[in-house]
Amino acid sequence: GRKWTYTGPDGELYWDKNFPYCGGVHQSPIDIRSDVVQYDASLQPVELLYYDVSGASMLSLKNNGHSVELSLPSSMCIGGLPYRYSAAQLHLHWGSTMQPWGSEHTINGKRFAAELHIVHFNSDKYADLTTAADKADGLAVLGVFIKVGQFSPAFNRILKHLSSVKFRDQVIQVLPFDIRDLLPEKLNEYYRYDGSLTTPPCYPSVLWTIFRQPVEISSEQLNMLVSKLYCNNFQETVPVMMVDNFRHTKDVNRRRVSASFR
């Protein structure tokens, strides 16, 4: 793949030059406007199946140059959607300050400090994430807003390892844990819409579920995210901090944005 960044000549304004889908009309993220969303009584609570992977083998935590990504076993899946979707990885988007600045989706223009994405592929139809990624019904991502508050022991299972994956392509093995502990309590209150990968190649293949309730991490934990990682590899001389790795919101256009709650 060609190189892309969040700022500068390869930044998001120019992604569509090399990745034409990034210029599409059903892109993500979006600003979710509570006065425009439509209540849909048919939306079921999201079922988290086999999300407790604490008995499974070690998980790979990788700096991929754009985010920090935790690999997930495909036994882990979600129900309550039109297909069964198996997990592939989770990762985060964040800002450069301790302010509410770093989430990709916004609610009525309000941005949160960070956002968790748990990426799943349609395992009823496709064998893996790569095969599913460019198919219209290929992916389902769960999005969770993160704000500053209480210390989170669950997020610390990831954050405590950031110093070991400071540079691009570094990978370490981490102990598996119960991924449900990263999610909010209310799994029955969410927004749903059709969108895309928020990074190149921006395939319009994602059924998005954005939980209404944010989760909390402490300011010390957010500071770890904002200060410990680099986008480049350790041999490059000018270090580029991994901050503000979020895409700005895209127009909703003719899409319906539904809510599972009134």
Size of interface with ligand BO1, in residues (CB under 6 A) = 10
Examine residue 130 and tell whether it contacts ligand BO1 (CB under 6 A): yes
Question: Where in 117-136 is the site for Zn ion (CB under 5 A)?
Answer: 117
The Cα–Cα gap between 16 and 1 comes to 14
Strand bridging mode 31-32 / 171-174 = unpaired
Residue 198 near ligand BO1 by CB under 6 A: yes
Using an 8 Å Cβ cutoff, are 46 and 81 in contact?
A: yes
- Closest distance between ligand BO1 and the C-beta of residue 237, in Å? 26
Which residue from 197, 215, 217, 252 is in contact with ligand BO1, where contact means CB under 6 A?
Answer: 197
- Nearer to Zn ion by C-beta: 86 or 198? 198
Phi, psi for residue 21 in degrees, rounded to 5: -60, -25
DSSP code for 154? H
Report how far residue 242's alpha carbon sits from residue 153's, in angstroms, rounded to the nearest whole number.
23
The residue from 26, 66, 105, 161 that is catalytic is 66
User: Site residues for ligand BO1, window 137-196 (CB under 6 A)?
Assistant: 141
Taking residues 212 to 241 in sequence order and writing x for each that binds ligand BO1 by CB under 6 A, - otherwise, the string is ------------------------------
Helix/strand/coil (H/E/C) assignment for every residue in 62-124: EECCCCEEEECCCCCEEECCCCCEEEEEEEEEECCCCCCCCCCCEECCECCCEEEEEEEEECC
User: How many helices and strands (H and E) does the chain possess?
Assistant: 4, 15
Nearer to Zn ion, 117 or 192 (CB): 117
CB nearer ligand BO1, residue 176 or residue 204: 204
Q: Which two tokens stand for residue 55?
A: 């008995």
Active site residue 117: no
Q: Which residue has the tokens 């503000």?
A: 244
Asked if 62 interacts with ligand BO1 (CB under 6 A), we say: no
Q: Point out the residues that are catalytic.
A: 66
| Residues at the contact surface with ligand BO1, assessed by CB under 6 A | 117, 119, 130, 133, 141, 197-199, 201, 206
| Residues at the contact surface with Zn ion, assessed by CB under 5 A | 117
